[in-house]
Structures are given as structure tokens and as C-alpha cells.
Structure 1
């Protein structure tokens, strides 16, 4: 079904079900394409990094499924290049499930990381969760006033957060996570609450994706020259955002 290209970019993004699979395993691509098409996704497939660069620049995609083990291009380098032009959500799919690879992928802005082999139903569930996070921030009317919390300004409709006049470079997941914490300063939020409410999936104690997103947020907050607060780790298994160091609690 063709999208109506007369709509503006934001309208197309909200309604788009087009995705790009960047994967050199042809058989796996065929399986994913057939399965996802049955669930309403419009699937484009490329097998090299160069083809991916040529495709995503001329397409309005809802999501990119990116294999980091491409024959001609480092998937991590490709993700860096993509994020220079678009903020399309990315799910990394890889044969490398080591923690280091997961950390690198999430630090580069991936919204999720799925290690091979994976079930197609799990892939679909992860995709739908990422899509809900991305679409929820685009459905509101434009020109809404920002949410003001201390020195932070949250523009929900454009998924932007400013500290004073400094704009933070955030992925869709990082934005949702920071907004959630900013609206509950000094409140301890459990890992389970954050996974279910922000990542929009079932809580699994061994899944470290949330921690990687927190790590990236901490680094970005530390990069703000005048911000002295931060995200504290709570020993009982959660996180708390302190806006000012003098008000933080020793936890």
C-alpha cells in the first residue's frame, strides 16, 4: 500500500510502516520480510552498507534493522553515518551477543539490540515497542509550550530537551527515559518500572539494555557545563534523578 507523499514529513513518519533491513544473510532477510509483511510492515531489504546509505537518504522510514556484521561496512560506522542525517530508530541485530557489542551499539544510539539467533515473534515485539515510543512523541500537536523543570525545557512534540540554551542530542529512547526521570526528580524509580513504562516491554532481570541507556544519559548530562546533578543508582535496584547536588541523597 503506497503512502500519500503529499503529507508532510511528520505526518508520514507517524503513519509509516516502512522499514529497512540491512542484512547480508539472504535467507534470514526472506524469513523476516515474509513474517513482518504479514503483520503490516512494508519491508525494504539491502545487503550491503553502501546500499543502505543510498536507500535511507531517499526514504522516510519508521525503523532500520541493522546487522553490524556487513561484508563492506562496519555496522557501527554505518549507524554513525546514518545518525548524521536522520534520527530514525535503529534496532541492531547481530551474531555478536557479547556485552561489549551491546554497549557499543546502545552508546551509538541504537534503540534496541537483538542477538542472533532470535525468534521472529521476539523481533516483532521489540519493533512494536520501539515504534510505540517513537510514534507517541509525534502524535501531539506542534507548537505546544515546553514542559519546564528547573533549568530543563522538554519539547514533547519534537522530542527535544534543552538545558538552558543547550540542546541535548538524544535518541528516541533516551528522550523518553530522561523525560520520565525529569518529571519525577528525587523519586526512586525501579528498574522494572522504567523497563515497563519507558522501554515498553516485559521486565527481565538479566536484560542490561536499560543500564546502557542510563549510562549514555549520564555521559550526556555530565557534558552539560553548568549541570551539577545527575542520575544516581539506588542500591535496591533503581535510579533517581537529582537536579542539584546539594539536594541529592547519599544512596
Structure 2
């Protein structure tokens, strides 16, 4: 019966496209509806258990060790792991993933220190996550802490301020869920398609398919330089910042 329906739907598609369907041609509406049905390919099944990472995700930090990371200066990552929490070890430098990534969904949880006395602006809880080692989503304490808005928490650093400030108080765990579309380069390093980011901060959309204008630099305007699927970087910015539950899904 389904085989017959598929043939009938194909005939209906031709009649619809040629404008031949009219009141004089009696084709049931359920058959007409099949013209727009797509049956294949069937999406792969992914287990998404509550409180655990999706079955097709790569655990970058699950509370156990730093096996997925190395020092950006070379050698093993020197940050500390205690009680399931990854903490910046001030002065040891940034860490990067051992593996490179292109289009991804990235989940991570972070918190800044409760001790804010004597720190303000960019000196309060500063870190960042750089996708492909160059496109940064800022990490900062942005509660009662004025600074340039394209440098506050959940900004695409020095390019896009967040749509809203969804920050939690210092000392509380916060989440980033980032959808990243990698840039595509053409001949001679030309940009065929720029990078795009969607960012949810604590479940709130704060970057909505924002176009990344190039490398997120502290000084100077953003530019693109051709590159491949490079690592994810976490910054040691001389501040006490913790991380947990970091995973990534290549898209």
C-alpha cells in the first residue's frame, strides 16, 4: 500500500507543479500532502540522558583528569583538578585541547571567585574560551562590574556585546552552550563564508547567529587568516576561574 501511495504522491507532485490539480481532478488531500514528506535519510539516534553528556559527544573534562588538554606553551597542562573541578593555575599559561575542531556544539560550566575585593573591570574573574584558538567568548564577572560591553561575560570579545546580561553572582556556577560554524576559506585565503556563533548563557540566548568578524584581538581590528580545524583554548588571565562538565559535539 505504501508503495502505491508513493507512486500516487509522485503523480500528485507532477500535477501540483504543473498546476494540473483542479476541482475536476479528485486526488485525496492526504495524498497531496505526501508531496512534501521526506522519509530519508533517517537521523541517527543520540542518547541524551538527564545529567550526562550526549552519547555522540566528546568529554573534554569530566572531573577526572586533563588527558584531553595540553599546555599552550608545550607539554602537559598544569592546571589543577580537585573534587571534579578544573581550576586555572595562575602563571602556568593557557591550555588547549589536544584535538582540533571545526563546526561544533560546545557545553561548559564555569565560575569566578567570590572574592572580588580590589578587582574591577577586566581584572575581575577574567578568562575566556577561544574556539579554533582565535574566536573568543569572554568569561568575566559581570555583576555590578562596569566595563566595555563587548568585553563583558558572553560577549564575542571586542566584536559583539551579549543581547542581555544573564550573569549569575560570583561564586555561582554558570553555563555556556555555544554553537559554532567555522569559517570557510577559498583560494588565496579569501573568506568564502565567515564564522558564526550562537551562545546561550545560563540557558538564555545572548548571541543569535552572530557573524564573527575575524580573530578576537585585544588590540586592533579583527581580520581573518586562513586556518584549519584548530584546538579550543581556555585562558589563564591571572584570575581564579573554575570549570567543570566540558564536552563538545562535532557537527
**Same fold? TM cut 0.5:** no
TM-score, scaled to structure 2: 0.30
When you count helix as a share of all residues, which structure comes out higher? 1
Larger Cα Rg: Structure 1 or Structure 2?
Answer: 2
